Structure 1
Amino acid sequence: MKHGYIRVAAATPDVKVADPEFNREKICELIKEGIKNHAKIMVFPELCLTSYTCGDLFGQDALLHKAKKELKEILKVTKGHDMLVFLGMPWENLGKLYNTAVAVQDGKILGIVPKRNLPNYSEFYELRYFEPGNEIPVFTKWEGEDIPMGTNLIFACEDIPYLMVAAEVCEDAWVPNPPSIRHALAGATVIVNCSASDETTGKDIYRRSLIIGHSACLVCGYLYANAGEGESTQDLVFGGQNLITENGTLLAESKRFGNETVYGDMDLERINHERRRMTTFPPANRENYTVVSFHMKSEELNLKRYIDPRPFVPDNEAERSRRCEEIIAIQAMGLKKRLSHTGCRNAVLGISGGLDSTLALLITARAFDMLEIPRSQIHAVTMPCFGTTDRTYQNACQLTNELGAELTEVNIKEAVTIHFRDIGQNPDVHDVTYENSQARERTQILMDLANRLNGLVIGTGDMSELALGWATYNGDHMSMYGVNASVPKTLVRHLVRYYADTFEEGALKDVLLDVLDTPVSPELLPPKDGKIAQKTEDLVGPYELHDFFLYQILRFGYHPEKVYRMAVYAFKGQYEGEIILKWLKVFYQRFFSQQFKRSCMPDGPKVGSVSVSPRGDLRMPSDAVSRLWLEELDNL
Structure 2
Amino acid sequence: MKVVMSQINSIVGDINGNKKKIIDIINSHKDADLIVFSELCLCGYPPKDLLFQKDFRQAIEKALLEIANVVEKSYVIIGAPTKSNHPQKLHNSAVILHNGKIEKAIHKTLLPSYDVFDENRYFIPSSCREVVEINKVAFGITICEDIWNINNDENAMYDINVLEELYEKGAKVFINLSASPYHYKKFKSQRLQVLKEAARKYKLPIVYVNQVGGNDDLIFDGNSVVLNSKGDVVIKAKEFEEDVIEFELEDIEKLSQVDIEEDISWIKKALVLGIRDYFEKTGAAKKAVVGLSGGIDSSVVCCLAVEALGKENVLGVSMPSRYSSEHSIKDAMKLAENLGIEFRIYPIEDVFKAYLRMFNGSETPLQDLAEENIQARIRGNILMFISNRENRLVLTTGNKSELAVGYCTLYGDMAGGLAVISDLPKMLVYELARYINREREIIPHNVLVKPPSAELRPNQKDTDTLPLYEILDPILVAYIEELKSVDEIVQMGYPKDLVLKIIKMVERAEYKRKQAAPGLKVTSKAFGTGRRMPIAQRWV
TM-score range, shorter chain: 0.5 to 0.7
Give the whole-Å Cα distance in 2 for the aligned partners of 1:617 and 1:211.
Answer: 20
Matched, 1:344 2:285: yes
Question: Are 1:384 and 2:316 matched, yes or no?
Answer: no
* Larger radius of gyration between Structure 1 and Structure 2: 1
Q: After the TM superposition, which residues 196-215 of structure 1 pair with which residues of structure 2 at under 5 Å, given as runs?
A: none
Residue in 2 that maps onto 1:393: 329
Q: TM-score, normalised by structure 1?
A: 0.44
Q: In the superposition, relative to structure 1, how do residues 555 and 217 fare at CA in structure 2: closer, same or farther (>3 Å)?
A: farther
Show CA shifts across 1:536-589 (max 9, x none). Answer: 123111222222122222223222101111x31xxxxxxxx54xx343122111
Write the deviation string for residues 237-291 of structure 1: whole angstroms up to 9, x where unpaired.
xxxxxxxxxxxxxxxxxxxxxxxxxxxxxxxxxxxxxxxxxxxxxxxxxxxxxxx
Are residues 1:539 and 2:465 paired?
yes
Tell me if 1:333 matches 2:259: no
State which of 512, 515, 539 in structure 2 corresponds to 1:597.
512
Q: Does 1:520 align with 2:452?
A: yes
Q: Give the distance between the partners of 1:470 and 1:182, measured in 2 at CA.
A: 40
Seen in structure 2, the aligned counterparts of structure 1 residues 398 and 419 have a Cα distance that, compared at 3 Å, is: same
Question: Counterpart in 2 of 1:185?
Answer: 152
Q: Distance in 2 between matches of 1:337 and 1:214?
A: 26
2:384 corresponds to: 447
Q: Any unmatched runs of 5+ in structure 2? A: 1-139, 141-147, 157-186, 198-259
Residue 276 of structure 1 aligns with which residue?
A: none
Q: Distance in 2 between matches of 1:500 and 1:490?
A: 16
Q: 1:425 to 1:544 in 2, by over 3 A?
A: farther
| Cα contact 1:462–1:485 (8 A) shared by 2 | yes
* Aligned equivalents of 2:351, 2:307: Cα separation in 1: 33
Letter in 1 for 2:506: F
Deviation readout 1:144-166 (Å, 9 max, x if unpaired): xxxxxxxxxxxxxxxxxxxxxxx
Structure 2 counterpart of 1:468, from 405, 414, 418: 405
Name the CA distance, whole Å, in 2 between partners of 1:619 and 1:425. 43
Match of 1:413 in 2: 349
Which of the residues 622, 629, 633 maps onto 2:535? 622
Counterpart contact for 1:497–1:513, Cα < 8 Å: no
Give the structure 2 partner of residue 585 of structure 1.
Answer: 500
* CA apart distance, 1:182: 9.9
Distance in 2, matches of 1:211 and 1:451, equals: 43
1:336 positional shift: 0.9
Segments of 5+ residues of structure 1 without an aligned counterpart are 1-175, 190-208, 220-317, 370-374, 527-532, 569-576, 628-636
Q: Is the Cα–Cα contact under 8 Å of residues 450 and 456 in structure 1 kept in the other structure?
A: yes
RMSD over aligned CA atoms reads: 3.1
| Cα distance between partner residues in 2 of 1:537 and 1:473 | 21
1:359 aligns with 2:296: no
SS at match of 2:444: helix
3-state SS in 1 of match to 2:263: helix
Task: Tell me what 2:424 maps to.
Answer: 487
- For the residues of structure 2 that align with 1:381 and 1:548, how far apart are their CA atoms? 32
Paired residues, number: 303
Whole-Å separation in 1 of the counterparts to 2:446 and 2:149: 56
Letter in structure 1 aligned against 2:296: L
- 8 Å Cα contact 1:496-1:512 kept in structure 2: no
The share of aligned pairs that are identical, in percent, is: 26
Give the conservation status (yes or no) of the 8 Å contact 1:497–1:512: no
Secondary structure at the aligned position of 1:553 is classed as helix
- Separation of aligned partners in 2, 1:339 and 1:562: 41
Q: Is the 8 A contact 2:316 2:336 kept in 1?
A: yes
- Cα distance in 2 for residues equivalent to 1:382 and 1:212: 42
Q: In structure 1, what is the Cα distance between the partners aligned to 2:454 and 2:189? A: 47
Q: Is the 8 A contact 1:384 1:410 kept in 2?
A: yes
User: 2:149 & 2:309 partners in 1: Cα distance?
Assistant: 50
Q: Would the aligned equivalents of 1:592 and 1:625 in 2 still touch at CA under 8 Å? A: no
The equivalent residue for 1:277 is none
State the shift of 1:186 in Å. Answer: 2.8
Q: Residues of 2 paired with 1:535 and 1:330: CA distance?
A: 31
CA contact (8 A) 2:356 2:365 kept: no
Whole-angstrom distance in 2 between the partners of 1:454 and 1:212? 41
How has the CA–CA distance of structure 1 residues 394 and 621 changed in structure 2, closer, same or farther, with 3 Å as cutoff? same
Task: Tell me: CA distance 1:619–1:182, structure 2 relative to 1, closer, same or farther (3 Å).
Answer: closer
Residues 588-628 of structure 1 show CA distances to partners (whole Å, capped at 9, x for unaligned) of 11011110011121112111212112xx211111112243x
Three-state SS of the structure 2 residue aligned to 1:457 is strand
Contact kept in structure 1, 2:286 and 2:392, CA below 8 Å: yes
Tell me if structure 2 keeps the 8 A contact 1:500–1:513. no
Output aligned runs, 1:44-443, within 5 Å: 184-187=151-154, 322-340=262-280, 341-369=282-310, 375-424=311-360, 427-443=364-380
Mapped to 2, the partners of 1:380 and 1:597 lie a distance apart of 25
* Cα distance change of structure 1 residues 385 and 562 upon mapping to structure 2, 3 Å threshold: same
Q: Deviations over 1:377-397 (max 9, x none)?
A: 311100000211011110001
Q: Given the superposition, is the C-alpha separation of residues 188 and 402 from structure 1 closer, same or farther in structure 2, using an over 3 Å criterion?
A: closer
The answer to whether the Cα contact below 8 Å between 2:380 and 2:415 also exists between their aligned partners in 1 is yes
Please say if residues 554 and 610 of structure 1, whose CA atoms lie closer than 8 Å, have aligned partners that are also in contact: yes
Q: Does 2:434 align with 1:497?
A: yes
2:455 alignment partner, SS class: coil
Q: 1:377 to 1:551 in 2, by over 3 A?
A: same
3-state SS, counterpart of residue 442 of structure 1: helix
Determine the C-alpha separation between the residues in 1 that align with 2:405 and 2:308. 29
Distance 2:411 2:150 in 1: 52
Deviation at 1:323, TM superposition (A): 2.5
Give a deviation string over 1:475-508, Cα, whole Å, max 9, x none: 112211111111111100000010111x23xxx4
Distance in 2 (CA, whole Å) between partners of 1:587 and 1:481 is 26
Partners of 1:620 and 1:361 lie apart in 2 by 31
3-state DSSP of counterpart to 2:290: strand
- CA shift for structure 1 position 326: 1.0
Question: What does the per-residue CA deviation read over 1:336-388, in whole Å, with 9 as the maximum and x for residues that have no partner?
Answer: 1222232523211100110110011001100113xxxxx23311100000211
